[in-house]
Chain A
Amino acid sequence: MAVGKRGARPPKAASPGRAAEPARAAPIVVPNTFWRPAEPLAYRPGLEPDVTHLREFGQTDLGRRDDGRWEALQVIPTQADYILDLIRANSLWPLLSGLACCAFEMMSGATSKTDMDRWGMFPFRASPRQADVLIVAGTLTTKMAGPLVRLWEQMPEPKWSVALGDCTVSGGRYKRSYSTVQGIDRVMPVDVYIPGCPPRPEGLIYGMLQLGQLVKDRRGQWAEREIGPTVPDEV
């Protein structure tokens, strides 16, 4: 799932035969003020995925301390990065965040018949400080949005989030309700969306495997993510 700037396309010009498109909702880009990386260059968005932070690091002051040696070692940090991502992808520890019905399919996916432990996701950590993935399973209400966002913020980087079930993807069957959040991407960034009401455990496994693929593709770039509706307002 590409982390590009959504809504950056200019609205189509109004022509006589076509009504002007309503303005798309601009995503809320929340700068990461809660934690400053030691090396800001490492987390700049928009870089190509196969540029690792160490190559950029080599162009900074710290990295230029010893000029010649870093060039030969570029291959090794790249491979180390790759291995680190492989390690992360194969050992994603989810946070126990079952809110409603989808939590049961998540638990069903974690227990014997469909076993998420085969991919290393068995330990559902109770503490957000020890978790990698926040699988939001179940309807998010406006009252719960605060605690959920706080959980998300308490998770240390690298972290990913998975929206499980229709209610978290877009509001689902509670689209016209007064007290649900219409999709958790309105309050926190989401990496993988798994639709279904509830999705089968196999669907969850597929989503988690896609997440693993995403981890490997991103190669450590998980900078500022976007929060905000990714579909136009009028839908």
Chain B
Amino acid sequence: MDRALKSRLEAQLGSVIRGAVRQRGDQTEIRIAPADLPEVLRTVHESIDMRFEVLADLAGVDTGDTMQVVLHLWGERSSDWLRIIVEGLPREKPRCPSVTFLWPGAEWLEREAYDMFGIVFDGNRDLRRIFMPPDYQSFPLRKDFYLPDDASRSPGMGVRPVEKPHAPAVAEPDPAAAIRRSPAS
């Protein structure tokens, strides 16, 4: 729990951080809007007291209502992991600026987020599918992606009545209503 990091972040990025800087365990978390991402990253990457030089992860998250891009950074000056949640990406056309200007290695991570969620990264020179075949039409990790045989609702749930212990007693569940939404996260 790096209190100094929290104060540094609030001092340098207070205007773009949405809400408070949350800290739990060894992680510090800030939430920003997509348009602010390049500025935030430049600040945390280059500022003398906060040199977060290692990009640990770039992931997409589908919260049911919106999409998020979550970055994890590590730096020598702080004992915490910094988590940057870029939130508020609309579900129909999620766009986010690319971080490849700072970390060329994020190209593949962004390709993966595009492949799984459909998040378009502006500035990524190579935004094509990385895992699925190039002519695949859907984005698998979205919450409204269902396999036709009801598979993604439960791994062990079969089709026979005896294999459905917890399934709701509806004939044809409404896919829009059945999207799992995360509680205000």
Q: Do chains A and B touch in the complex (CB under 8 A)?
A: yes
**Total interface residues in chain A, CB < 8 Å:** 9
- B133 x A234 contact (CB < 8 A): no
Which listed residue (A142, A143, A176, A234) contacts B147, Cβ 8 A? A176
Which interface residue of B154, B155, B160 has the most chain A CB atoms within 10 A? B155
Known: A234-B159, A234-B160. A176 touches B151 (CB 8 A): yes
Residues in A whose Cβ lies below 8 Å from that of B151: 175-178
Chain B, interface size category, equals 10 to 19
Any B CB within 8 A of the CB of A179: yes
| A69 to B154 alpha-carbon distance, docked (Å) | 68
**Could you count the A-B residue pairs with CB atoms below 8 Å apart for me: how many are there?**
22
Within 8 A of A (CB), among B127-183: 131-133, 140, 145, 147, 151-152, 154-155, 158-160
- A142 x B133 contact (CB < 8 A): yes
Residues in B whose Cβ lies below 8 Å from that of A177: 151
- B155 x A178 contact (CB < 8 A): no
Residues in B whose Cβ lies below 8 Å from that of A176: 147, 151-152, 154-155
A233 CB, min distance to chain B CBs, angstroms: 9
| Chain B 103-133: CB-based contact to A (< 8 A → 1; otherwise 0) | 0000000000000000000000000000111
| Chain A 88-116: CB-based contact to B (< 8 A → 1; otherwise 0) | 00000000000000000000000000000
Nearest to B149 among chain A residues (CB) is A176
| A78 to B147 alpha-carbon distance, docked (Å) | 52
| A178 to B116 alpha-carbon distance, docked (Å) | 12
